[in-house]
Structure 1
Amino acid sequence: MKRYFLLPVAALALAALACSSININVPRLKTGPTTTLTINEPLPEGNEVVDVTISMGAGKLNLAGGAEGLAAGEIKYNVEEWKPTVTNKDGHLTIEQGSAKDNFGIPEDGDKVVNEWDLKLGDVPMYLVLNAGAYDGMVDLSGLRLRHLEINDGASNAEVLFDSVNPEEMDKLAYKTGASTVKLTGLANANFAEMDFTGGAGSYTLDFSGELQRDATVNVKAGASTVRIVVPEGVAAKVTVTGGLNSVDADSGWEKSGDTYEISGDGPALTFDVEMGVGTLELVSK
């Protein structure tokens, strides 16, 4: 008897859910006049290496070298709660957008939102961390003295460029992204020992052009995405694919043996460990 009684009860519950509506109150942020915050941070005294952290939400970012001090530039915004804070103390520089932690909300008029960051960093050895949300970014790290680099972003459209050799030996380059379109160019110039790239469902290009200074290990983990790995001609590389991926498109120069792809070359070598279950992996040599 009990089991038959449960069926109409369940049906009534489902009907009640179907007829009801769920209201979610999301805080709203009002836009106002565009405000410009000028950044002009001096180099710290007595610090051989500095820690720089830049954290922003949705918006536009242009980041490059060329600052006379530690950091310079402008941030334009028109949501008061997003007013950035700048802290420069004891060799630690933090530039952080308001609401990144405390002031959650959605702008009332999204098409009029202004959040534009135009920043330059100076000529000093640094550990750089970049955190961003759904943003459009041009990050030109050419010539910066980076000992460590970490980038975390959301659904972004970003390009990261190393157009000249990093004067410092970088211990690790870590990039974590979501459903994004990301292009990293000149990665050989980054001068890292190890690189970790983690992506969701997106399109990612990892271009190792430049001058490879030493042997390097690259770990790639991605979801249902397209990953394009570009290795310059003459550079030795070995790619091991795990995770069950069966869609690998390799140039004629790559030799396949099981789940391993190799290409011969001279000098320092690149070793890749790629973990993908679905999606497409493209291996290019040019």
Structure 2
Amino acid sequence: MWEVRMPETEELRHETKTIPLPAGVDQVDIHLAMGIGKLYVQAGSEALLDAEFTYNVAAWQPQISLEHRDATAYLTVRQPRAHTTVGRRAENTWRIRLAGDVPMDLHVKSGVGNAELNLAKLPLRRLSTKLGVGEATLMLTDNPQLGSVHIDMGVGNLTVDLRGEWQHDVTADIHGGTGTLTLQLPTEIGVKVVASKGIGRLRCNGLHHQGGGVWVNPAYTETGTTLNVTIHAGVGQINLNVGG
């Protein structure tokens, strides 16, 4: 638990870190865990990871570990569990670029703050995210290897762009929180959304209601590939938009 105590802010620190891809690795498992701050993740690294960390609370210095077992690299970047909370002058920003040429499982945990996860062009196989309090965007628009997505939404607004050209079936499991969830869905492949009833409203654009909490797009059953989305609704509003 994060105890309520004002952090001792110091001079702003700016650190960079590059983690090369170990020799012999043909897949990676990456965990990013940020307690407080702003998180930006995207593709574009020629190494396994390039990162820029900016913070002014010494206890928030990121901890990085890398293990290599068989042909898999396990990388963890985490913010220590310091007993502090955000003050007006506290700052903590991570800007992370990941490799685009090795199959990847990615796990992201964000506590208090905003997250912008532009994961297009990453060779993702599986993605799991757990969000806390804040605004978040998640882009999955060019990830042909992706098979499964799991999202735990916290408190705030979340936008997820799933308008990729999927080459096989994809399963997305989303647990709604408190706030607004917006999903951008593809038109060229079949889409099936199963939504449980929560407290709030559900708005659909470009989907047909089949009954029983099931919505599909016009391409459903017309293509060999289907995006299957299950939403466990929370408190707030859900927007489902096809195309756009």
In which range does the TM-score fall when normalised by the shorter chain? 0.7 to 0.9
User: Is residue 63 of structure 2 the alignment partner of residue 93 of structure 1?
Assistant: no
> Matches of residues 118-267 of structure 1 in structure 2 within 5 Å?
118-122=95-99, 123-166=101-144, 169-185=145-161, 187=162, 209-223=163-177, 225-243=179-197, 247-251=201-205, 254-265=208-219, 266-267=222-223
Asked whether the 8 Å contact 2:130–2:152 carries over to 1, the reply is yes
The SS at the match of 1:62 is strand
Q: 1:224 to 1:234 in 2, by over 3 A?
A: same
Q: 1:271 to 1:245 in 2, by over 3 A?
A: farther
Shift of 1:26: 4.2
In the aligned structure 1, how far is the partner of 2:94 from the partner of 2:234?
36
Give the CA RMSD over aligned residues.
2.6
Q: Which has the higher helix share?
A: 1
Identity of counterpart residues, as a percentage?
Answer: 27
Higher-Rg member (1/2)? 1
Shift of 1:244: 6.7
Q: 1:83 to 1:272 in 2, by over 3 A?
A: closer
User: Is residue 60 of structure 2 the alignment partner of residue 82 of structure 1?
Assistant: yes
Deviations 1:193-215 (A, max 9, x none): xxxxxxxxxxxxxxxx2213223
Asked whether the 8 Å contact 1:234–1:264 carries over to 2, the reply is no
In the aligned structure 2, how far is the partner of 1:252 from the partner of 1:139?
25
**Which stretches of structure 1, 4 residues or more, deviate above 6 A after TM superposition?**
none
Indicate the larger mover: 265-274 or 240-249. Answer: 240-249
Shift of 1:141: 1.1
Asked whether the 8 Å contact 1:255–1:263 carries over to 2, the reply is no
Q: 1:106 to 1:232 in 2, by over 3 A?
A: closer
The SS at the match of 1:150 is strand
In the aligned structure 2, how far is the partner of 1:212 from the partner of 1:278?
30
Partner residue in 2 for 1:33 = 11
The SS at the match of 2:59 is helix
Any stretches of 5+ residues in structure 2 without a counterpart?
A: none
In the aligned structure 1, how far is the partner of 2:130 from the partner of 2:177?
16
Q: Which residue identity lines up with residue 92 of structure 1 in the other structure?
A: Y
User: Is residue 230 of structure 2 the alignment partner of residue 273 of structure 1?
Assistant: yes
Q: 1:148 to 1:256 in 2, by over 3 A?
A: closer
Any stretches of 5+ residues in structure 1 without a counterpart?
A: 1-24, 188-208
Q: Which residue identity lines up with residue 242 of structure 1 in the other structure?
A: S
User: Is residue 69 of structure 2 the alignment partner of residue 104 of structure 1?
Assistant: no
